[in-house]
Every structure is written in C-alpha cells, then in structure tokens.
Structure 1
Amino acid sequence: MSDLNAVKSTATILTVDDMNVTSMLSNRSKKIVVDHAIDEDEAVILALGYKQEFKREFSLFTTFGVSFSVLGLLPSIASTLWYSLAYVGNAGITWGYLIGMFGVMCVACSMAEIASAFPTSGGLYYATAMMAPPKYKAIMSWFVGWSNYFVQLTGAPSVAWGCASMILALKTLNDPTYTPTNGQTYLMTMCITFFGAIVASAPTKWIANINSASTVLNLIFLFISFVMILGGNTRVEQGLPKFNSNPFAWELENFTEWPDGLALLMSFMAVLWIMSGYDSPFHICEECSNAQTATPTAIVLTASTGGVLGFAFQLAMAYTIVSVDDAINDDLGQPYVAFLNQIMTKKRVQTLTSFAIILAFNMSFSCMIAASRVLFSYSRDGCFPFSKYWSYVNPITDTPVNAVWANWFIGQLLLLLMFGGETPIDAIFSVGAIGSFVSFTFPVLLRITYAKSTFKPGPWNLGKFSLICGWCSTAFVAVMIPVLNFPQYKGADNTPDMMNWTVVVYWGSMFLSILWFVVYAHKIYKGPKSNIDGKNLVSDEDENEVIDAIVSRGDDVVKYGESDEKV
C-alpha cells in the first residue's frame, strides 16, 4: 500500500466572462475556483453566481412529469369549469379556449427562451434583474418575484380546495340530504395539503419517480375519461341524440352583463389557470441535468401537449353536455361533477370524479414542489423575512424542507378565506391566473425592449421569431390583466357576493409588498446576490497566485472550457 501514489484532487477555475450568460458576476473580471471537476450544468449555475446545492436527478421526462402534474389537466378543467361555462357557455371550452391557447403558447415560448438563458430556480425574477436598467433592477425584480411567489403560494391550497370540493360533491351525490360545511371543507383541504407537503419534502430522486408515475396516471385517466364521456354517456337513454349539434357545441351564450367580446375574454381565466403550471420546469431547473435545453423543452412540451389534450377533452364535454345552466347552478356545487351526472350513471360519475380527485392530489404536491423552490431561491437572495431558514437545504433529503412547510402553513391561513363564502376563496384562482402571467411576461417585455441588444440567448432560442413572439405574448397579457379583474355583473347587480375580489387579493398583496420595499426592504435588497464563498472568487490578477497555491499542495488545476489538459 505504501507504494501507491496519493490520490490527487482536481480543482477547476471557471472564467465567468467566458460563459455565454449574463449574470451578477458578468463583466467584473471574476474567476471562480472550486475544489472539484465540474460539468456544464454546474459551470452555468456557478457563472450565474450560485453554488450547486441540489442533486441533478431530473431528466427531461421527469421534469416534464412535474410540470404536467402541476398542469393537472383533468383536475384543472374540473376545478375551473365554472369560469368557462358561467361566462359564455360552450364557447368558453371550444373556440374561446383555442384563442386563449394561442396567447398562452406565445407566453410559454418566450418564457422558455428566457429559461434557457437563465437556468436558475429564481429564473423569472433573476432574469428581470439581469435585463432591467441598473437603477431599477431591485424594484423590478422585487415586483416580479413577489408576483410569482403569490402564484406559487396560492397554487397548492386552491388545487387542494378543488380536490376537497369534488370529494364532498361525491358525498352529496350519494346522500342528497348532506350539505358540507365550511369547517368540513377546510379540514379536508388541510389534510390533502398536509400529505402533499410530506411528498414535496422527499429527496429529489423520489420526487422524480413519483411525478413520472403521476404523468402516466394523468394520461391514462384523461384518456379513459375522454372515451367514457364520448362512448359511455346516457344521452340516448334520455331521448337525446348521442351528441349535441355543432351550433350548440360551439354556441356563445352570454351569462354576464358585459358585451359578448368582453365576456369571452373573461372566460380566458379558465385557460390561463389550466395552463399556468408549465413554468414549473423553470423552478426546478437546478435539479435538472442539461438544464439549458431540457428546461425550455419541458416548458414548451407541457404547454403544447396540455393545450391539445385540454381542447380535445373539453370538446368532448361541449358535444355531450345536456344543460349548461344546470351544470353551473346544480346543488352539487361542482360543475364538472354536475356535468357528469347529466350524462352518466351514478357509478360512472363516481369513477370519473375519483380519477379527477386522485390527479388533483398529485397536482397539489407538485405545486408544493415548485412553490418551495421559489421560496428557497428568493430567500437565497434575502427577499423574505428569516430568509436563512427558508434557504436551508436539508442534509438528509437535499431539498428545501423548511420552505415546503413554511408555504404549507401560510396556505392554511389563506384557506380561512373559505369561511367568508365562495367569492373570497374564488379570488385565489384569479391570483393564480393574473399573478403568473404578470411575472411570466415582465422579463419578456424587458427582453424585447431595454435588453433587446444585450440579451444572450441560450442554446434553446426562438431565433428570428423571438421579437414577434415576445410582442404577441406581451400584448395578450396586457389585454388580459384588466379583464381578469372584471366582475361577472355590473352596477347594482355587482353585490359583495358577486364581486371579483382579485383587485383586493392580488393587487392589495402586491401593494403591501411594494410598500414594504419602499419603507424598508430597499435598504437590504439590491437584487440577486451570489452565495459563492468570497474565497472562491478571484480576479484576473490573482489567478496565477491561486494556481500556484493549488499546485503547491499537490492538486491538479483545470481551466474549464479551455482544454482537458491540466495546468
């Protein structure tokens, strides 16, 4: 054994300005020294200013699995069906959905391009800071960060509430004398989110495997439900044709007090919510291998797959629904279950609703995974009170467990809104729609305006279509932001029970976050900050001295990107 040579370690020196990224360390002649060999993924995250803290155990498929689970087509359609049908009837789930999907796809493609350029968990807010005018990068990134965090924070509670509503609707279906109380709904929702938080706290590899299985279940249950709606409905037994006529299935029936065009735009709230989960790959990209390509691919794949499958499924609903008005106003309190009850036997209703319930549970913990990564990444930069606790990575699971449970606790407080009636709790859905697309589009706007000539695209980019797609997505969201704040009724009919409380819930929360920044947070928050130890950052002048020190202790030195030969 004494004849064996000592095993040498290999240190790596990475020159930030040689990397094709724009980061907080760019143009400062900085080099990063690490005590091990690095791959491309670690090189990119280091160049962005962060050390590698997670295991990269997500592949393209498993990343897609998380985002497709968050998308949760079947439970999302079931939970938001009211917004589609109650505004414009079948048009909201047919041609209205298609128009909305065009805008969503533009946003998804533009965001995917940014994800390739800034593959970090805090990507939207980080990209905003890197592309904004230096004087305003702090306030702009703060605004985008909090807007996106409110989306993530409300995602799991709202999905779990929809899941609980479907469970209790099944109970009412079997026992018409039963009417669920707010307390029962709250406890059911709390249990769903509690077990979801346990899953979200698991190691990355476990989460990847669970979400892969969830993706398969999503596709299987969606296909079975689609076939049963088309082939297993009881319309003929009711003396009706097997399917509705084309005019009925595509009809715009305005249930609001606004003009048809505005009512149709208001129905887009459903498609925005249904498709809001495609950003999830961005938030877990630090756990994904080949992140600069796999992350944007997963984003576009999720949005396109979800859009096509969602349209096909809702088309089946439009051609089989018996009465839109009855589905909206049924005593079951859940339009999807009410729709199924119109066209199927009780056993089939129970089966298909159970599919949606299972997928809603999967969707809730997938939302928690994305939300915890957002809280972790923003806390890493000091955006939140007690940030050091939320940016802590559990050494056993290698995941931000503290962030998971902090979000869970705040979510339970938000769910108390249900004791104020359905209208306040419904506002959470609006927050998910408006908050997400505000945070998605703000960095896109910067990319096509101020940062037009300085933006460094990643390996996945839109090329010559980048500006066109960016302007389309920005215009779409600019139209939708005020529309999402409109109530269904106006004038004397717009009572507190019918009010759209998005104005208070979302904009009120954003006002408080900006007020906090102006009063105090601007003193401590200047934008994203590197968590790389200062001793690992060296200037050009110190490079030779560092190399000599490493060699003198018997280790090898490799300059990343220059050659595989040792210095």
Structure 2
Amino acid sequence: MSSESINPIVSYSKADPELGPITSQVHVDNVHVTSILSHKDITINVDHMVDNDEAMVLAMGYKQEFDREFSLWSIFAVSFSVLGLLPSIAACFDYQQLVIGMSPIPWLLAVFFVTSVAYSLAEIASAFPVSTGTPYAVSQLAPPKYKAYLTWLTCWANWLCQITGMPSVNYSGACMMLALRTYCQPDYVPTNGQIYGLTTAINVTHGFIASLPTLWAARINSLGTIVNILFLVIVFIMILAGNDRVAMYDGSIPKFNPNSIAWSLENQTDFPQGIAMLMSFLGVIWAMSGYDSPFHLAEETTHANIAAPKAIVLTSTVGGVIGFIFMIAISYTLVDIDLIAADPEGLGQPFVSYLTQIMKKDMVIAATAFTIVSSYFMGESCLLAASRVTWAYSRDGLFPGSKWWKIVSPLTKTPIIAVWVNVVLGQLFLLLMFAGDTAIGAIFSVGGIAGFVSFTMPTLLKITYARNTFQPGPWNLGRLSTPIGAVSCAFVLVMIPILCFPYTTGSDLNAQSMNWTAVVFFGPLLMASIWFVVDAHKWYVGPKSNIDESDITYGDTPDVIDGREKDESLEYSDEKK
C-alpha cells in the first residue's frame, strides 16, 4: 500500500471490551472541515465500515441517515429542475416585462449579481457539506456572542424561502392550465376556488413523489431535468421559427423587432426608470432561485464537498446564459407590451398572452402545454429540496414538533413527515390568493428576499469576522473569494428594500396594490426574533450533534491507520479519496 492510499480520516480496529465491536473510528480533527466537533480531540466510534462521505458527515456531528444515491448529475438535475427556466420565465412576466418592458438588459445585469451570490454559496457548500446548509456555516463563522441568534435567524429566513417555493410554482402552473382553458373556451373564467383546488391536487401528487426512496426521487428529478431542457429548447424554437407576426398583422410589422425596439426599456411603474430596473430584477431572482438545492442534498450525495458546489455553479451559470438567450428571443418577437398588461382576453397569464401575439392557436396550446409540464417537475423538485431543509432544521430542534418532523422512514429512508409538513404549509400560503393578486404575489418576493438573506449571511461573515479563520473546502474561489463575496453582499443589501417596493405610488396606492412582502417576510422574522429573546435563547445553541455520546471518545486518536503506522506528514486532500 502506497502512502497515498492511507486514509487519515478513518482507522479500523478490533473489538474493544469497553467500547464494543468497533470496526471504524473517525478522527474529527483529521478531517478537512470546521464543525461543531472540531478542535476537541474527538474520535467517533462506528460499528460498521465507513467511507469518506460518511466520515465527513460524522465529523460535522451527524449520523449518516440517508442513502447516498445522488451524483453530481442527479443533484444538478434537482437544482436545474427547481430553476425551471421555462416555467419561471413564464411565471415572472409580471415581475420583469410588465415592469420595465421587453428588453433583455435587466436579465443580463441581474444575472451577473445573482451568479456572484451563487458562486459564494458554492464555496460555503464545499466547506460545510451538510444538509443544514447555510445556518450550519453561520454557526461556525459567527462571533460566539451572536452565533445562536444569527444561526436562528438564518434558519428561519432560509426556511421561508424553501416553503414558499412549491406553492408559488404550483400556483403559477395551475393558473397557466386554467388560462389555456380560457384561451380555448373564452367564456370560461376560473374562480379562486378552482385555482386553489387545482393547485392542491398538484401539491398532493408532489408530496407522494417526494416521499419515495431517494433513488426513485433522483431518477424522477433526472427525468424532470431532461424534460425541462427539451421543452425549453422546443419552445425557444417555436418562438423563433413559429413566429407568424407578419401574417397575423397583415404585413404591418416585420417578423422580428428592430434592435431599437428589442433592447428598449419601457417603465411601467410610478418610479424613476433606474428604480424600476432594479424592481424588475425580482423576475430574474425568482427565475434563477433553486441553485442552493444541492447544498441541502449534500447528505444524499457522493463526494458532496465537490459535487454540491459544482452543481451550484453549473446551475447558476448554465441557467443564466440559457435564460438570457431565451429573453433575447422574447424581446425580438413581442408585439405589444401594453396589450399584454391590459389582458383583453382575460387569460390572467402574461406569458400566454405573449404567445397569442406571435403564434397560431395550435402552436400557442402546444407551447403552453410544454411550459405546464415543465412547471410540474419544477414544483416537485422544490418540494424535495424544501423537505430536506425542514428535516435538517428539525434535527437541530428548531421547530415545535421537531422530534416528529426529523423522523426518517425506515422503509423509504426519506423524511416523509417533513415532506407532508411542507405540503400543509404550502396550502396555508396559498390562502393568500383569496386576498388578491398582490397578496399572493408576495410569496414570489418572499422567496427572493428570504433566499438572499440566507445565502449571503455566511458570505458576509466569511469576508468580515471570519476572514482569517475560514477554512475553504476543496472547491473554492481562491483570491477571488473576498471580491466576489463583497459584490454579493452589496447586491443583496440594495435589493432587500427594493423588493419590498409597491409598483404604484401616491393616490394610486391602496391595500390592493400594496406590496405585502414586508409583512409576509419580516413579520415572521420579527416573531422569530421575539421568540428567541423571550425563550429560545435559553435552549437553542445552533446545530447540535445527534451522535450518541457513548460513541465518542476524547484524546484517543490511535497511531495505527488501515493497519499501518500513522504518517504524520500526510494531509487530507479530496484527491486521495
């Protein structure tokens, strides 16, 4: 055996009369990771053979409870499905084109900053490859005095991001289904009750899929990614090749808009154009959300400290480029943005209204159907990621009822209770639709703000308080870590208040047109903060190990590894796995 094959993480020993039939020992301080068990000279004794993936999660302070059935492709499949570019672009017409016009410029600008946030998050995911995600990183990077509160706040922010994902996606998908019926049957007008019922049916089917064994869920999400990519390409081709504007408008307009129109900005708000531009970033932020999903699937992924960050980077980069190309296609074919805003056909879906301006009826039906199918897979991926977050936070005792929510089914090896908790919460969020379009629209804004707060909290700490102590993982940004992190934090600081702005001002602003994001997001965070001050500070300390104390020994790092003497000069590197 060469020295390179020696594993400094795990050693194997014979049965000990006091400790029982130990077959593996994980030496936490030999693992290239900062964790809640680090720097305590801890050895974890395990009664089975341990590979490096399990050794990593044990060193982070947790038992390996899931099967590691996800690969780099599988978690990329989940995150790209959560991204769901085609249904996301369709759902966000209200928040981009109907704010600043048809130009792709807002997408190009926003995606640059969104990608910087994603790259910083990827570096964090490599350093802390555990399903708890950013709160775990915050607990290790924050000043000791504020560690518990900042971790608590990050947990609640990220959880709000996760639990609003599925209901917002499925609400949009249900609206698109019913808009298609209205397009085919003009006298049909869907009620809120019908939209709620259809969205509920979609949520329930997603609940059953997310409860399946990990391998099945991974395969379904891989299928969803293939479908999303395929349908995205098909609809893109339909928009360009199936564009029938010349015939539909009797030759009064060309097949494609000239550059002066395609790249023009048209402020649809009461704010100055610069502010309107920033407000339109919500469409990009929401459409590009989901790149954090690999982080929350880390404990189900092989070589997570490399696969998870790579999947995050791939999702944000590939998604950003493809989305920009798609936006160019829209800008060169869209006929009348004001007519889409007026919605004379009563479709209630701007994207479908856009398709009716450039395509014949059969093509509109086909393109909308492809978008609906993509939306279905997107919603399922959102629930899968959200359920893992709920499970991980329950493992740390964050919620009332955590002892039930953290249960992993022995049959499927998945957190079934956490799945259905998310389904129920999604149903409660959907009740906002009965308060009007602006109220239900708040769950889109909340997802953007909540995600940003959670994603950038560890980045902010990494470049400030922990700038000299942060220990990067095998995937890192090197010298660009601080500059990219600074850009990410500055962008989020600007966008948080912007995403709370209403689209009207003065006498036009009323309860119906008010942006309720501040209430829906900051209200729960305020209540969580009050709870922490009044009670939770007494018992919540952040992530806590679920490894049995009887399996932990202190100051007992053996001198023999894999049957050979320990090589003191050997340092852990991921290539030696």
TM-score, normalised with respect to structure 2: 0.92
| Amino acid in the other structure paired with 2:287 | I
Correspondences of 1:334-373 after superposition (within 5 Å): 334-373=349-388
Of 149, 155, 171 in structure 2, the residue corresponding to residue 145 of structure 1 is 155
Name the CA distance, whole Å, in 1 between partners of 2:213 and 2:564. 32
Find the counterpart in structure 2 of residue 283 from structure 1.
Answer: 296
Residues in 2 aligned to 1:415 and 1:561: alpha-carbon distance in whole angstroms: 59
Aligned to 2:493: 478
Q: Is the 8 A contact 2:41 2:557 kept in 1?
A: no
State which drifts further: 30-39 or 444-453.
30-39
Residue equivalent to 1:46 = 58
Question: How many angstroms does 1:557 deviate by?
Answer: 7.9
Query: 1:267-288: per-residue Cα shift (whole Å, max 9, x none)?
Result: 0000000111100000111100
Three-state SS of the structure 1 residue aligned to 2:322 is helix
Partner amino acid, structure 2, of 1:152: Q
Once the two structures are superposed, residues 30-59 of structure 1 have per-residue CA deviations (whole angstroms, 9 ceiling, x without a partner) of 111111221111111111111111111101
Among 188, 192, 195, which residue is 2:205 paired with? 195
What letter corresponds to residue 318 of structure 1 in structure 2? S
Aligned equivalents of 1:510 and 1:340: distance in 2?
40
Residue segments in structure 2 that go unaligned for 5+ positions in a row: 1-13, 16-20, 571-577
Distance in 1 (alpha carbons) for counterparts of 2:535 and 2:191: 42
Aligned residue number for residue 503 of structure 1: 518
Aligned-partner residue type, residue 56 of structure 1: R
Secondary structure of 2:515's counterpart equals coil
Instruction: Answer whether contact 2:155 2:454 (CA < 8 A) is retained.
Output: yes
| Shift of residue 559, structure 1, vs aligned partner | 9.6
Deviations 1:178-226 (A, max 9, x none): 1100000000000001001111111110011111111111111001100
Name the counterpart of 1:25.
37
Give the direction of change, closer, same or farther, for the CA distance of 1:558–1:425 in structure 2 (3 Å limit): farther
How far apart are 1:328 and its partner, in Å?
A: 2.2
Query: Post-superposition shift, 1:90?
Result: 1.4
Look up the match of 2:310: 297
CA distance in 1, matches of 2:444, 2:172: 10
Structure 1 segment 10-409 matched on structure 2, within 5 A? 11-91=23-103, 94-237=104-247, 238=249, 239=251, 240-330=253-343, 331-409=346-424
Matched letter for residue 204 of structure 2: F
Measure, in 1, the Cα distance between the counterparts of 2:424 and 2:435. 19
Contact preservation (8 Å) 2:87, 2:371: yes
Aligned AA (1:267): S
Q: Distance in 1 between matches of 2:273 and 2:444?
A: 23
Matched position secondary structure for 2:341: helix
Q: Could you say what secondary structure the match of 2:123 adopts?
A: helix
3-state DSSP class of the match of 1:109? Answer: helix
Partners of 1:320 and 1:489 lie apart in 2 by 28
Specify the SS of the correspondent of 1:134: coil
Deviations 1:326-351 (A, max 9, x none): 12221211000000011111111111
CA distance 1:107–1:39, change in 2 (3 Å)? same
* SS of corresponding position for 1:319: helix
Residues 435-450 of structure 1 aligned to structure 2 (within 5 Å): 435-450=450-465
CA distance in structure 2 between the aligned counterparts of 1:560 and 1:207, rounded to whole angstroms: 41
The 3-state SS of whatever aligns with 1:31 is strand
Partner amino acid, structure 1, of 2:306 = T
Aligned to 2:10: none
Q: Which amino acid aligns with 1:285?
A: A
Contact map agreement 1:10 1:558 (CA 8 A) in 2: no
Aligned to 1:552: none
Would you say 1:461 and 2:473 are equivalent positions?
no
Runs of 5+ consecutive residues of structure 1 not aligned to the other structure: 1-6, 548-555
Find the aligned partners of 1:335 and 1:510 in 2 and give their Cα distance: 32
Do the aligned partners of residues 226 and 356 (structure 1) sit closer, same or farther apart at CA in structure 2, a change above 3 Å counting? same
Task: Choose the corresponding residue for 2:426, options 411, 414, 432.
Answer: 411
1:425 to 434, 437, 440: 440
**Secondary structure, aligned partner of 1:293:** helix
Task: Report if the CA contact (8 A) 1:85-1:328 is conserved.
Answer: no
CA contact (8 A) 1:15 1:560 kept: no
Alignment TM-score, normalising by the size of structure 1: 0.94
Shift of 1:27: 1.3
Q: Does structure 2 retain, via aligned residues, the 8 Å contact 1:281–1:299?
A: yes
Query: 1:534 corresponds to which residue?
Result: 549
CA distance in 2, matches of 1:437, 1:157: 19
Aligned partner letter, 2:465: Y
**Counterpart-to-counterpart distance in 1, 2:310 and 2:566:** 26
Following TM superposition, the consecutive aligned residue runs of length 4 or more in structure 1 with deviations greater than 2 angstroms are 7-10, 556-563
When residues 410 and 557 of structure 1 are mapped into structure 2, their CA distance, relative to the original with a 3 A threshold, is farther
Could you tell me which amino acid in structure 1 is paired with residue 216 of structure 2? W
Q: CA RMSD in A?
A: 1.7
The residue type paired with residue 58 of structure 1 is F
Partners of 2:563 and 2:266 in 1: CA distance: 70
Q: Report Cα offsets for 1:245-298 as digits up to 9, x if no partner.
A: 111111111111111111000000000001111000001111000101000000
| Corresponding position of 1:3 | none
- The structure-2 alpha-carbon separation of the partners of 1:543 and 1:314, relative to structure 1 and needing over 3 Å to count, comes to closer
Shift of 1:151: 0.7
Partner SS, residue 102 of structure 2? helix
Q: Given the superposition, is the C-alpha separation of residues 418 and 559 from structure 1 closer, same or farther in structure 2, using an over 3 Å criterion? A: farther
Amino acid at match of 1:533: D
Q: Secondary structure at the match of 1:278?
A: coil
Instruction: Provide the C-alpha distance between the structure 1 equivalents of 2:382 and 2:565, rounded to a whole number of angstroms.
Output: 39
Could you report, residue by residue, the CA deviation over 1:424-451 in whole angstroms, capped at 9, with x for unpaired residues? 1000000011110111011100000001
Which residue of 507, 528, 533 corresponds with 1:492?
A: 507
Aligned residues: 545
Question: Which piece of structure 1 moves more, 211-220 or 109-118?
Answer: 211-220
Distance 1:560 1:55, change over 3 A: farther
How far residue 421 of structure 1 moved from its aligned partner, in angstroms, is 1.0
Q: Give per-residue Cα distances to partners, 1:46-77, cap 9 Å, x unaligned.
A: 11111111111101001100000000000011
- The 2-side partners of 1:361 and 1:217 are apart by 10
Deviation at residue 561 of structure 1 after TM alignment: 9.1
Deviation, 1:387, is: 0.4
Contact 2:449 2:496 in 1 (8 A): yes
Identity of aligned residues (%): 53
**CA separation in 2, counterparts of 1:262 and 1:353?**
32
| Cα distance in 1 for residues equivalent to 2:48 and 2:259 | 64
Query: Does the 8 A contact of 1:57 with 1:205 survive in 2?
Result: yes
